Amino acid sequence: MEKQKGDSLSGLGEFGLIEHLSAQFENKHPETLKGIGDDAAVIASTNDHMVVTTDLLLEGIHFDLTYTPLRHLGYKAVVVNVSDVYAMNARPKQITVSIGMSSKISLAAIEELYEGIRLACERYNVDLVGGDTSTSLTGLTICITAIGTVKPGREVYRNGAKPNDLICVSGDLGAAYMGLQLLEREKRVFAGNPGVQPDLSGFDYLLERQLKPEARKEVVEFLDQIGVRPTSMIDISDGLSSEILHICKQSGTGCRLYEEKIPIDHQTSVLAEEMNINPVVAALNGGEDYELLFTISLADYEKFQGAKTNANIYAIGHIAPAEKGCCLITASGSEVELKAQGWANFG
Amino acid sequence: MEKQKGDSLSGLGEFGLIEHLSAQFENKHPETLKGIGDDAAVIASTNDHMVVTTDLLLEGIHFDLTYTPLRHLGYKAVVVNVSDVYAMNARPKQITVSIGMSSKISLAAIEELYEGIRLACERYNVDLVGGDTSTSLTGLTICITAIGTVKPGREVYRNGAKPNDLICVSGDLGAAYMGLQLLEREKRVFAGNPGVQPDLSGFDYLLERQLKPEARKEVVEFLDQIGVRPTSMIDISDGLSSEILHICKQSGTGCRLYEEKIPIDHQTSVLAEEMNINPVVAALNGGEDYELLFTISLADYEKFQGAKTNANIYAIGHIAPAEKGCCLITASGSEVELKAQGWANFG
């Protein structure tokens, strides 16, 4: 969960801070094709280029062990990294896993965590090639680095979107966020009355999306199969708004998203209504969906027609010239400016 | 500082735990030439192989901010990683840096940390290509992954030592440990009487070795220049004993180290005497020297004669058949079995 993340440092925010700090660094190696500023770095090689990405997960910030099974946590920690690899149109190959843990943690608990890591390595065809383990004075810390490969010319950055490109998204959005709301609600109920059993029934999908998400391997494979290279791509970790704004900012464009086109699962809608949350806001600002958001040229759109795939892909809008700004067209037809509210200002 | 690290989990120890957990994993990619169990992983590529290594540094475990300047900490965090790259006979090229930090930390403090990282990137010719930043509920967390390259056939593992190979070490040992003892002593004095100024004079070298170590770039360059490929190599992060035992275990050999040959700086000896510590024990078990320990075939030894280098390299013993065990030959000529005591049982 990234809700406590971000805007605390002099109002810079996470992305502003990274930009500020990395401004002092210069790349020295011509093989460094892409450094900071995308889902992963890209390093040139003779055959396949290599992509590298890393994520830090901290107890109390990114996960809550009161309701997160360690096996799921291990699985998810791998997924969030391979998702970044797929977002470069690359395939994950290796990971390193560094863990800091309390000396009081049991061996059985660590084994559970690694079993989740192992299952994700099987699912995504990834080798665990290294890491570091250390005791920690405080909570559990997990830092994973994923390495992948991509054929030169097939890599996809955030900065290649062009006006009139279609904006596509896989799967559905907002479910992971609603899963989190459910877990947090039941945690509060339980804290108030430990005799009450948590009521999570009917929302299995939301819980799975929050606790054990998957990365969109099949989307990248499908794009490859039909010969489409997206003009830009990013994975949705911070919410649709934040991600499309990254693409637009780096591509120097605007965009139009259509509220009615945003894919939202039935369970997401049901729980959102129950909890008095607008499901579209959950989709826009919720995050942790790990779906892929990408843009394709109009010429490529016909390749999608009739092609068979398990990947659910939806066209949700189009790229516009920069001067048109970034807007959501609501169901009633009005234009609302998109903002990367993230969790901090989530209403 | 690794003294609180290790043996807490069911007596497995850090290395035992890594072995135990990684036993469940299988590598799937033929490009994964070396996974867990060396200074870095090695991934095959058409031209240069790629090496990958990662290290997690946790406040209160690996560093103490009461006496560690953030700029030095940033520098050291890079050095410990590039040191692992050199230990594969490779050259570092890129790093990713993930930081978890309290929301109360000032921007100036983070800038200091990154200035240290930047200086190390300049010194070791490394590009910062990515990372992650997050707020942390507790202390400062730094996770760095370093990537390097090595020409196929030039990579050096821990497992290639053969009986009669010479055991060599660069620089001098035990100084970083004595620097830590000095800082801890002055911290205790200051805690007892905040009016007293810390007395660190005359031990600049020890402080530098502890707070701002360097990786042995020039050793790897020198070996290349004289055309010597070590039969095995490792960097000294946990102390000479622990490292030579890694080489012997993985190579299936024993060894003989000569106490009198172990290089120890004058300041190390002086402070050790003052603090009633055996300087050889500091060298054997102290750690954090980031010198390179390597073995070379006898045939290669003559290439060292007369060759000019800034790298101080000392022959300190030889590899023996496994059945001879791993021993230190003391100044008085007696044999003492080497043990990886690390910090935990340090007398």
- Residue B188 corresponds to which amino acid? R
Q: Could you read off the pLDDT tens digit of each residue along chain B, which spans 347 residues? A: 333 344 446 577 778 888 888 888 999 999 999 999 899 999 998 789 999 999 999 999 999 999 999 999 999 999 999 999 999 999 999 999 999 999 888 999 999 999 999 999 999 999 999 999 999 987 899 999 999 999 999 999 999 999 999 999 999 999 999 999 999 999 999 888 888 888 888 999 999 999 999 999 999 999 999 999 999 999 999 999 999 999 999 999 999 999 999 999 999 999 999 999 999 999 999 999 999 999 999 999 989 887 887 789 999 999 999 999 999 999 999 999 998 764 433 33
B15 token code pair: 């290395």
- For position A74, which CATH number holds? 3.30.1330.10
| Best A84, A126, A129 residue to mutate vs chain B (most B CBs within 10 Å) | A129
CB burial string A275-284: b at 16+ within 10 A, e below: eebebbbbbb
Residues B183, B78 within the same domain:
no
Task: Work out the angle at residue B210's Cα, subtended by the Cα atoms of residues B206 and B215, and round it to the nearest 5 degrees.
Answer: 105
Q: What integer pLDDT is reported at residue B9 of this predicted model?
A: 61
**Residues A93, B40: C-beta atoms closer than 8 Å:** no
pLDDT for res A216: 97
Name every chain A residue with its beta carbon within 8 A of the beta carbon of B39.
none
- Considering the domain architecture, whether residues B230 and B307 belong to the same structural domain is answered as yes
Quote the pLDDT of residue A9: 60
Measure the CA–CA gap between A218 and B328, rounded to whole angstroms. 57
Give a yes or no: residue B110 inside a domain: yes
How far is it, in rounded angstroms, from Cα A69 to Cα B161?
Answer: 44
Contacts of B115 in chain A (CB under 8 A): 24
Q: Is residue A155 part of a domain?
A: no
User: Testing the interface with A: which of B2, B22, B36, B54 to mutate, by most A Cβ within 10 A?
Assistant: B54
- Which of B150, B177, B193 marks a domain boundary? B150
Range of the domain at B217: 166-337
For chain B, the residue count is 347
The confidence score (pLDDT) of residue B10 equals: 54
Picking from A107, A123, A150, the residue at the C-terminal end of a domain is A150
Residues A189 and A322 grouped into a single domain: yes
User: How much is the pLDDT for A40?
Assistant: 94
The neighbouring-strand residues paired with B294 are: B168, B233
User: Is the same domain home to B185 and B144?
Assistant: no
Last residue of a domain, one of B150, B183, B201: B150
Kindly compute the dihedral angle of the four CA atoms of residues A191, A192, A198, A199, in this order, to the nearest 10 degrees.
Answer: -140
Residue B343 forms part of a structural domain = no
Q: Are residues A58 and A92 in the same domain?
A: yes
Query: Are B258 and B302 members of one domain?
Result: yes
**What is the rounded CA–CA span in Å between residue B260 and residue B263?**
8
Query: What's the burial of B304, exposed, middle or buried (CB within 10 Å: 0-12/13-18/19+)?
Result: middle
Same domain, A303 and A182: yes
The reply to whether A295 and A215 lie within a common domain is yes
pLDDT of residue A257: 98
Q: Are residues A190 and A277 in the same domain?
A: yes
Percentage of chain A lying above the pLDDT 70 cut: 95
Number of domains in chain B: 2
Give the C-alpha separation, B29 to A278, whole Å. Answer: 45
Identify the CATH number of the domain in which residue A325 sits.
3.90.650.10
Q: Which amino acid is at B344?
A: A
Q: Would you list the DSSP string of A202-264?
A: T-HHHHHHHHS----HHHHHHHHHTT---SEEEE-SS-HHHHHHHHHHHHTEEEEEEGGGS--
Same domain, A29 and A57: yes
In a domain, B122, yes or no: yes
Residues A175 and A111 in one domain: no
Within a domain: B1:
no
Same domain, A62 and A96: yes
Mean pLDDT of A61-67: 95
H/E stretch holding B219: helix B217-225
pLDDT at position B308: 80
Res. A177 pLDDT band, cuts 50 70 90: very high
The residue with greater pLDDT, A344 or A36, is A36
A345 domain-assigned: no
The helix, strand and coil proportions of chain B, stated in percent and rounded to the nearest 5, come to 35, 25, 40
Query: Which segments of chain B are extended strands (E)?
Result: 32-34, 41-43, 49-58, 91-101, 127-135, 141-150, 166-170, 232-235, 253-258, 292-296, 313-321, 326-329, 335-337
Residue bearing tokens 């403090």: B109
In a domain, A279, yes or no: yes
Stretch A85-106: mean pLDDT: 95
Residue A61 with chain B: CB contacts under 8 Å? 100, 134-137
**A346 within some domain:** no
The C-alpha atoms of residue A128 and residue A116 are separated, in whole angstroms, by 12
pLDDT in tens, A116-174: 999 999 999 999 999 999 999 878 999 999 999 999 999 999 999 999 999 999 999 99
pLDDT of residue A283: 96
Per-residue pLDDT tens digits for A332-343 = 999 999 987 644
CB-count burial class (<10 Å; 0-12, 13-18, 19+) for A216: buried
Return the higher-pLDDT residue of A6 and A84: A84
